[in-house]
Amino acid sequence: MEKTLVLLKPCTLQRGLVGEVINRFEKRGLRLAGMKMMQLTDELLNEHYAHLREKPFFQILKDSMMCTPVIACCFEGIEAVRVVRAMAGSTNGRNALPGTIRGDYCMSNQQNIVHTSDSLENAEVELARFFRPEEIFDFESSNLKYLYASDEL
Ligand code: IDP
Ligand code: MG
């Protein structure tokens, strides 16, 4: 099964949406395999958002990610990277479809509730960036045979 990283951004903590957002992933059937609150640093964000370092909004983005702690989550499921990314919706909340997390909870291109890994390769790199190996838990989900058909497992 795939594991992917979700970060609940400072805007989500400030707006009291932590429970609702985690609830969506749980209800979908993703297994919460790791979760912790952490204060991000400039150094970590330079790595995490390296693909955006030339953008004019880079410093504003980093500041917005450091203004309070974030909550880092690892969710697991079959094709979890793609499923979680689709649940987040388009980057710009104003373009995100209703029914997606961003489409239901935000109006911003930047204060957009969650970070989600965009590929399996990046999910592995990002999970290693935010979690130590012992902070990811591989317990078996008791409802697995009701979440998936036997030939999917
Ligand atoms: P993603 O979060 O949907 O994967 P990325 O392109 O990886 O989008 O950008 C990372 C984060 O940078 C976004 O979630 C958003 O907070 C911010 N961001 C991306 N594009 C813009 C922009 O054009 N203006 C302001 N902030 C942006
Ligand atoms: Mg991204």
* Interval 78-107: pLDDT, tens: 999 999 999 999 999 999 999 999 999 999
Which of 7, 94, 109 is the best mutation target for the ligand 1 pocket, counting ligand atoms within 8 Å of the beta carbon and taking the most?
A: 109
- Of 153, 1, 145, which Cα lies nearest the Cα of 77? 1
Binned at pLDDT 50, 70 and 90, residue 31 comes out as: very high
Check residue 141 and give its pLDDT.
Answer: 93
Q: Find the 48 Cα to ligand 1 centroid distance in Å.
A: 12
Residue 100 has what DSSP assignment?
B
Q: Which of 3, 31, 62, 115 is catalytic?
A: 115
Mean pLDDT, rounded, for 22-30 = 98
Q: What is the Cβ-side half-sphere exposure of residue 34, based on CA atoms within 13 angstroms?
A: 19
Q: Which class does domain 2-139 fall in?
A: alpha beta
The per-residue pLDDT for 139 is: 96
46-82 per-position pLDDT tens digit = 999 999 999 999 999 999 999 999 999 999 999 999 9
pLDDT for the residue numbered 99: 98
Domain assignments of the chain as residue spans, ordered by start: 2-139
In this prediction the pTM is: 0.98
Q: Is 31 helix (H, G, I), strand (E, B) or coil?
A: strand
Beta strands 114-116 and 31-38 are unpaired
In ligand 1, which atom is closest to the CA atom of 57? 25
What distance in Å separates the CA atoms of residue 143 and residue 123, rounded to the nearest whole number? Answer: 25
> Which protein residue has the closest C-alpha to ligand 1 atom 12?
110
What are the tokens at 44? 């970590």
Distance 91 CA to ligand 2 centre (A): 8
- Tokens linked to 117: 């890994």
Neighbours of ion ligand 2 (CB under 5 A): 118
Q: Distance of CA 138 to CAs 6, 11, 13, 28, 133, Å?
A: 17, 30, 27, 19, 11
Position 117 scores a pLDDT of 98
Q: 51 an active-site residue?
A: no
Whether the Cβ atoms of residue 30 and residue 84 lie closer than 8 Å to each other: yes
What's the mean per-residue pLDDT of the chain?
Answer: 98
Give me the amino acid identity at 74. C
Task: Quickly tell me which residue has 């917005």 as its tokens.
Answer: 64
